[in-house]
Amino acid sequence: MTDMTSNPPRRSTTGRRRTAEFWVYFTLIFFCAVPFTTFRWVRDIAERHTLNVRGPLARAWSEADRITPLIFSV
């Protein structure tokens, strides 16, 4: 039996390569998400009375970054 606690196997540093097709879908989803995230951002500012929330571009980026890999996992 091998002792994996003292000498664990190395993790792959490359990960999954993002192709041109991935970036096309990412860009389309990002630009479609911007109006919706802008609306949510304005609503959150009105409800919380603070600007201490993530901006609409950061929200759209995270939405596109969450949705695009789902398309390629199917």
The answer to whether position 60 is within a domain reads yes
Q: Which residues, 6+ apart, have CB-to-CB distance to 22 below 8 Å?
A: 68, 72
The answer to whether position 56 is within a domain reads yes
Domain holding 27, by residue range, is 17-73
Query: Phi-psi category of 49—alpha, beta or left, where left has phi over 0 and alpha has psi -120 to 50?
Result: left
In angstroms and rounded to an integer, the radius of gyration of the C-alpha atoms of the chain is 19
The answer to whether position 47 is within a domain reads yes
The answer to whether position 8 is within a domain reads no
pTM over 0.85: no
Kindly state the average pLDDT of the residues 36-40: 95
The answer to whether position 36 is within a domain reads yes
Mean pLDDT, rounded, of the chain: 86
Structural domain count, the chain: 1
The answer to whether position 46 is within a domain reads yes
The answer to whether position 27 is within a domain reads yes
65, 69, 6, 1: which is closest to 33 by C-alpha?
A: 65
What per-residue confidence (pLDDT) applies to 52?
85
Say how many C-beta atoms besides its own lie within 10 A of residue 21's C-beta. Answer: 10
Q: Return d(Cα 56, Cα 58) in angstroms, integer.
A: 6
What per-residue confidence (pLDDT) applies to 74?
77
